[in-house]
Amino acid sequence: MKPLITILALLAVSCDSSLAAEKPNIIYIISDDVGYGDLGCYGANKVKTPNLDRLAAQGCRFTDAHATASVCTPTRFAFLTGRYAWRQPGTGIAPGNAPALIAAGTTTVPSMLKAAGYKTGVVGKWHLGLGNAPKTDFNADIKPGPLELGFDYAFYIPATGDRVPCVLVENHRIVGYDAADPIEVSYGKKIGDEPTGIDPDVKLKIKGDKSHSDTVVNGIPRIGFMTGGKAARWVDEDIADTLTAKAVKFIETNKDGPFFLYLATHDIHEPMVPHPRFRGTSGCGWRGDVIHQLDWTVGEVLAALDRLKLAENTLVVFTSDNGGAIKDTYDDGTNELHALQPPNGTLRGFKGSLYEGGHRVPFLARWPGHIKAGSTSDALIAHIDTLATFSALTGEKLAPTAGPDSFNVLPALLGEGAGREHLVLQNNNQSPLALREKEWVLIEKGGGPKQAAAAVKTELFNLAADPTQKTDLTNKEPERVKAMSARLELIRSEGHSRPE
């Protein structure tokens, strides 16, 4: 007969094994326009990000993580589908009335996790089109949308903060919708008689440039024209509070798990309008202040996990949809202070660029007991890998045609292996593209799939020796350029890059 202490020890091991076998809750936070150098844990010395720094201290900080595009819509498309957005024409930055860009029934991160037994939710920025062609009808059930792609719950901004319609949607309906005040949206000719940003007598909170000078909502001119929906229009200063409260509520409602929350913050996208309690806190103008606001949002999510005793069994990821930029599309009165916090550190380029500053992003991952606290990884990973990685994490098998460009980087996430060997990057279009291969990156400077490969101009950089991309090695490495160009064309033509 075994001693009691041995039996108790065996029971403890059995219990631990059972807990380890449980599927973790997953919170994936994609911020907007946050650059590689915008967090304290990545070297920022102006703004303060204690909650994000805590996430890094309790998990892993990745130094070679990438959005697959240097702008928002194609990055989010790739994140959800595991497919390079440049493979599907029309996936560039979407207007606010664009029809759904992802076909209902497509295998996505939420649909796969839902099949694995997860409750799935999205809170925040959507920007992947809604409804059917030719444009979204905002006066009826708005679908197809997030719910048709595997989310059980959705509370979201249709496009971006600087684009109409300036309303929030919960599941299929606009929050606060009034049928007596129907909504119409135009991205062509002006509609309605509401003031625009160029009207001489309009009162503005902040000024917009020529491209951000259409319908004025909450004292801020936007891209596009909008009429109606006055009772449903958001107040920019309150967006972070509203989205954070909805995210925390989703966690509370689904605390018995497992759950997947995709939290797509509005911060720090323009117009950058911090709540008054954050204004002046950074010394870097309103851009720095909304970084502080973003950090607060992350802190509220982490606090909810602690309060509900969920932190130990929750994988939390924080990243950004593209690199940062110092822009003058809006003038909030503090623009001269924005650049005091360099968004991308020493990296070359900004949002919209194929250089590293356009797409190399902060990436933090915490899962106590599985990801080593205070660790750093130089593994090459990308948002597009989420589908295959979470498939491996949960044991939910992908169909051969699903996620054609998504790689399983779970070993890298857990600090047990390398990441990808290659990665294709884009800006807002189908071409030009860039190919990353280990420490090398080949950047097209024009042309694309319809132009003869020999006619496409390129730049070649060795990121290990030249991380700031100052020295183009195209002429010194002609054979490497030829081989990488051929590989890029092969990935273009084959329709997939994930090993089958």
pLDDT of 132 above 70: yes
pLDDT of 62 above 70: yes
Q: Do the beta carbons of residue 384 and residue 85 sit within 8 Å?
A: no
Q: Please name the amino acid found at residue 276.
A: P
Give me the percent of the chain exceeding a pLDDT of 70: 94
Asked if the domains at 22-420 and 431-494 fall in one CATH topology, the answer is no
Q: What is the mean pLDDT of residues 433-437?
A: 98
Q: What is the mean pLDDT of residues 341-364?
A: 98
Q: Which residue has 């694309």 as its token pair?
A: 448
CA distance 168 to 176: 9
Q: Which one of 15, 60, 66, 127 is the catalytic residue? A: 127
Q: Do the beta carbons of residue 33 and residue 321 sit within 8 Å?
A: yes
Q: pLDDT band for 9, please (50, 70, 90 cuts).
A: very low
Domain locations in the chain?
A: 22-420, 431-494
pLDDT score, position 456:
77
pLDDT of 18 above 70: no
Q: Which one of 60, 66, 72, 292 is the catalytic residue? A: 72
Phi and psi at 61, nearest 5°, equal -105, 120
Q: What is the mean pLDDT of residues 296-308?
A: 98
Phi and psi at 393, nearest 5°, equal -65, -40
Apex 156 CA angle, 155 and 162, nearest 5: 160
Q: Write down the CATH number for the domain with range 22-420.
A: 3.40.720.10
The yes-or-no answer on residue 127 being catalytic is: yes
pLDDT score, position 451:
54
Phi and psi at 69, nearest 5°, equal -135, 155
Q: What is the mean pLDDT of residues 220-249?
A: 98
Give me the percent of the chain exceeding a pLDDT of 90: 92
pLDDT score, position 446:
74
The yes or no reply on domain 431-494 and CATH 2.40.30.10 is no
pLDDT of 271 above 90: yes
Arithmetic mean of pLDDT over the chain:
94
pLDDT score, position 16:
31
Phi and psi at 488, nearest 5°, equal -60, -40
pLDDT of 109 above 90: yes
Q: Do the beta carbons of residue 67 and residue 80 sit within 8 Å?
A: no
pLDDT score, position 32:
98
The yes-or-no answer on residue 72 being catalytic is: yes
Q: What is the mean pLDDT of residues 43-58?
A: 98
Q: Which residue has 């690199």 as its token pair?
A: 323
